[in-house]
Structure 1
Amino acid sequence: MRLTIDKALAPRFALLCLGIWLNAADTLVTATIMPSVARDIGGYAYFGWSVAAYLTGSIVAGACSGKLSLAMGLRRATAFSGLVYAVGCAMSALAPEFVTFILGRLVQGLGAGAVVALCYVAITALFPESLWPRVYGAVAGVWGAATLLGPTLGGLFAAAGFWRGAFWMFVVQAIIFIAAVMVMLPADKGDAARGRVPVPQLALLVLAVSLIGAAGVVASPRLAVGLAIGGAIGMAAMLAVNAKTHDRLLPKSAADLSTATGLGLLTIFSTEAAVIGFTVYGPAFIQAQHDASPLLAGYVVGAIAAGWTLCALLVGKIPAERDGRFVRVGVVVILLGALASAWLTPRGTLVETALAFALLGAGFGLCHAFIARRTIGGAPADEQAVASGAVPTSQLIGGATGAAGAGAMANILGFSHGIDPTLAADRGPLLFAAFLPLAVVGVLAAWRLGGR
């Protein structure tokens, strides 16, 4: 039975691909059009929030999607999540100023995070068990397609002076997705809730990210430092609460660096937080420094995802006994790529910047799967399911934290009203290099993890 030619299964597979696409393409499309958004409605001071709000919403939704499915039934929960995503896209498309735009991005993240999680749940409802591995593998190709098509779509809309059209495009796709869900997913009644949402951890996480982001938009340097410290304390409090409750967002050992799980999650968080600034500010710097079109800038930044995908495919069949070497090599390549990108993004040529970004992405491709394998395998048997979910959750937390931090640092360095080419060449390296200590933390943690 072949998935590729079975006419009965093809529409179901297309449904899953559309749901995954809504999330996979969103980040690259939005990163490409963000300079156009900021020029139109202002908001350079809140630039990092376009990513941080979306990722924070995705974290909250991912943690709540299982509960939502139990309460509403899979079909209604998935359709409702698609509706939330469509509303968020419409809010961003209609936004008259940047605060409304950011709220729309938060709602988008809530919807998209739940849609992706529920699409993976839907695989078990739509396909026979014998086809599950093939479906999971095929759906992964959607992320690769988004790498190629996302910058193209964003660039075309930005070049046409109609960035709002990108969000209306996603609204239309979300409506198609909702209609398909109501037709294809089996009707099921909600069940009594089993397990609870980790509300305290999520509240502390949202508070911590908000404090870090707020540090960049206050006038007082002392207050900014205080807010940043408060954000760090919030993160620590979230880990402390998580370790003492039965309703966990992360494994109990997430903060224990004597365990493979703790080391792995720290590596994932640190490396993602260290480099997310290139996705947030890369397109704006490239457009300002090289007078590049949004389409070209999107593809230069897309080299990160391309390098990741290519190297992940090349090392996909490495046996477990050799994965420690790739864990170590990969994070070192990430650090080298981040160093090169921090210098070349504001000062290098387009080709040099693209190569540096590709090197950065290659580092993740070389090690991410092996870090995940050791992180999950190092957890106790009764926590391996939580550890599996913690891998993408830690990456999202790192992205949200790093995006908020990048926005704060950009405002401190004088980029709150746009990217001036002279100022970019002078202070741009500091903007990106400020987060390299986090990459060093990731290398140290991964080095220990790789030697276990």
Structure 2
Amino acid sequence: MCEHAAVSLAPVPSAPVLVPVPRTLGLGLVLVVLIVAFESMAVSTVLPRVAADLNGLALYGWASSAFLLSSLFGAVLSGVLGDRRGLAVSTVLALSVFAAGLLVAGLAPSMTGFVLGRLIQGLGAGGLGALPWAVISTRYPEVARARMLAAVSSAWLLPALVGPLIASVIAAQWSWRAVFWGLIPVLVLSAPLCILPLRQRLNRPATAQERDSRRILWPALGLSLAAGAVIEGLRRPDLLAWPLVLAGLAGVAWTARALFPAGLWRLTRGLPAALALRGWAAFAVMGTTTFLPLALHELRGLSLTGAGAVLSLGGVTWTLGSWVQDQLERRYGEASRLLRARGGMVGVVIGVLLTALGVLGPLPLWVVGVGWVLSCLGMGVGYTSNSLLALSSARPGQTGQLSGQLANIEVLMVAVAAGVGGALIARVQPLQTAFTLAFAVTVLGALLTWLAGTRLQQPRK
């Protein structure tokens, strides 16, 4: 439930449809999203077994952070390539890179090799995550876009329901490597459905948003590298640790200026606070997802199947929360968004805290389920409401840019949370203490979502 955030700022232009849209294109898009979503949900479940088999607990956090940070840059790169060479070329590249990453991860002889495979996967997944929005906005008529967006979004539901459980069964009966290998044939079969209908390029001038995607290409790469330096510095026990952290923090501060509005880290009222809320909420809930299965396995003796069931429960609840949010939006309208966003973040704070107490031992194990349901329900209601609140405050012509900012802050903060949690697991002994500190960090992130919620504002009419 964390890595589906890998969509970043990519061209979402407005253009007339010049050729009829084959039905196979829609099917191909949905299949690609299903594959990426399944891989995303599966990795969190099998990662404890990967780390055990490859003796790679020291690089545990990097398995998620490498994917996320590379996906941030991969989405922007795919958008620029699609603008210059066409969507067919960018799609071929994204699919090929993602498949190569699956192969490298599945064949990895060490945890370093596995992290490399995840980094390659992220580059491809970033482009694949941005692909539906670029295709739908350029190849589908206005009346069909809402239906296709709903279909693409719904493609995440099935992997959220069964992905962790299927992955845990495959890992238990065969090998965790089969989780990665098994996706490659499906990817190969679905690729022509996407690529062939996109071979004809649209003749139109580049939009302002596409030009923006070129402008942020190098800042996006810089942000990924700088955040990676922070994560590696926190993980290392040697003399390079603090120089890396300080240099990385300086790099994040510098590159963020080109990607996000001023006042983001100060929680300035309005749009910066909405972006900060999204980032810290992702940090708290999706960041917890990256180490929750390992904590349940190591501290509570839960099997990977049991840990996968907890993640599946969270995915279902998040979807339910999104449905509840939609019903509240229909019934009470835009005026209720502020209250929904703040109320959802209260659920996140309480839910993450209960989850932590249930995993660490002060409360019974069943409290983990209650806490995780509450936190994911809060995300379903509050996360989407906050996004709608932010988008409604955007000036005309800036909606696409803001959508990219919402995605980028999410990816960045989840990657940092995974890196911090992984660094604690690598450096702190015993594991009980490491997980206690990791949960303390994500609970703090949850509290900051509440603080950001107090700085939100309804857009002025």
The two structures share one fold, judged by TM-score above 0.5: yes
Per-residue CA shift, 1:295-349, capped at 9, x if unaligned? Answer: 2211212333222111110121321011111111111111111111122123255
Read off the aligned partner of 1:305 and give its amino acid letter.
Answer: G
* Counterpart in the other structure of 2:18: none
| Aligned pair partner of 1:38 in 51, 66, 69 | 51
- Offset, 1:429: 2.5
Alignment partners' CA distance in 1, 2:301 and 2:113 = 29
Counting only pairs closer than 5 Å after superposition, residues 192-207 of structure 1 correspond to structure 2 as 195=211, 196-207=214-225
Is 1:105 matched with 2:118? yes
| Aligned equivalents of 2:181, 2:124: Cα separation in 1 | 15
The alignment status of 1:228 with 2:245, answered yes or no, reads: yes
* Partner of residue 361 from structure 1, selected from 376, 382, 388: 376
Q: Using a 3 Å threshold, how does the CA distance of structure 1 residues 99 and 380 change in structure 2: closer, same or farther?
A: same
The answer on 1:314 being equivalent to 2:332 is no
Q: 1:326 aligns with which of 331, 335, 340?
A: 340
Letter in 2 for 1:445: A
Q: Which residue of 2 aligns with 1:5?
A: none
Q: 2: CA distance between counterparts of 1:39 and 1:114?
A: 31
Conservation of the 8 A alpha-carbon contact between 1:155 and 1:294: yes
* 3-state SS of 1:24 partner: helix
**Partner residue in 1 for 2:366:** 351
3-state SS of paired residue (2:326): coil
Matched with 1:139 is 152
* Cα pair 2:161 2:313 within 8 Å, conserved: no
Q: State the alpha-carbon separation in 1 of the partners of residues 203 and 108 from structure 2.
A: 35
Distance (Å, rounded) in 2 between the aligned partners of 1:198 and 1:16? 26
**Corresponding position of 2:90:** 77
**Structure 1 residue 368, shift from structure 2 partner:** 1.0
Where 1:449 maps in the other structure, the secondary structure is coil
| Distance change (3 Å), C-alpha of 1:33 and 1:95 | same
Identical columns (%): 25
Cα separation, 2, equivalents of 1:295 and 1:13: 33
Provide TM-score, normalisation by structure 2: 0.86
Aligned to 2:71: 58
Superposed CA offset, 1:38-85 (max 9, x none): 111121111111111111121111222221112221122212211110
Q: Which position in structure 1 is the counterpart of 2:130?
A: 117
1:61, 1:114 within 8 Å by CA — same for their partners in 2?
Answer: yes
Letter in 2 for 1:202: A
Aligned residue for 1:316, secondary structure, equals helix
Q: Does 1:428 align with 2:440?
A: no
Find out whether 1:47 has 2:47 as its counterpart.
no
Aligned to 1:401: 416
Residues 174-183 or 439-448, more deviating: 174-183
- Give me the CA root mean square deviation: 2.4
Q: Is 2:392 the counterpart of 1:377? A: yes
Of residues 148, 151, 160 in structure 1, which corresponds to 2:173? Answer: 160
Deviates more, 1:437-446 or 1:124-133: 124-133
Deviations 1:353-372 (A, max 9, x none): 12211111111111111211
1:281 matched to 2:291: yes
Cα 1:277–1:337 change in 2 (3 A) is same
The answer on whether the counterparts of 2:74 and 2:127 sit within 8 Å (CA) in structure 1 is: yes
Match of 1:298 in 2: 308
Q: Which amino acid counterpart does residue 236 of structure 1 have in structure 2?
A: A
| Whole-angstrom CA distance in 1 between matches of 2:90 and 2:221 | 22
TM-score by length of 1: 0.88
Is residue 9–residue 127 contact of structure 1 (8 Å, CA) maintained in 2? no
CA contact (8 A) 1:274 1:438 kept: yes
CA distance in 1, matches of 2:344, 2:267: 20
Q: 1:342 aligns with which of 356, 361, 375?
A: 356
1:127-165 deviation line (CA, Å, top 9, x unaligned): 443221111112211111110121022112211241111
5+ long unaligned stretches in structure 2: 1-20
Instruction: Quote the residue 2:255 is aligned against.
Output: 238
Do the aligned partners of 2:104 and 2:117 also contact (CA within 8 Å) in 1? yes
What does the per-residue CA deviation read over 1:184-217, in whole Å, with 9 as the maximum and x for residues that have no partner? Answer: 3343389887622424422331232212221343
Q: Structure 1: where are the runs of 5+ without partners?
A: 1-7, 243-248, 415-422
Equivalent in the alignment of 1:270: 280
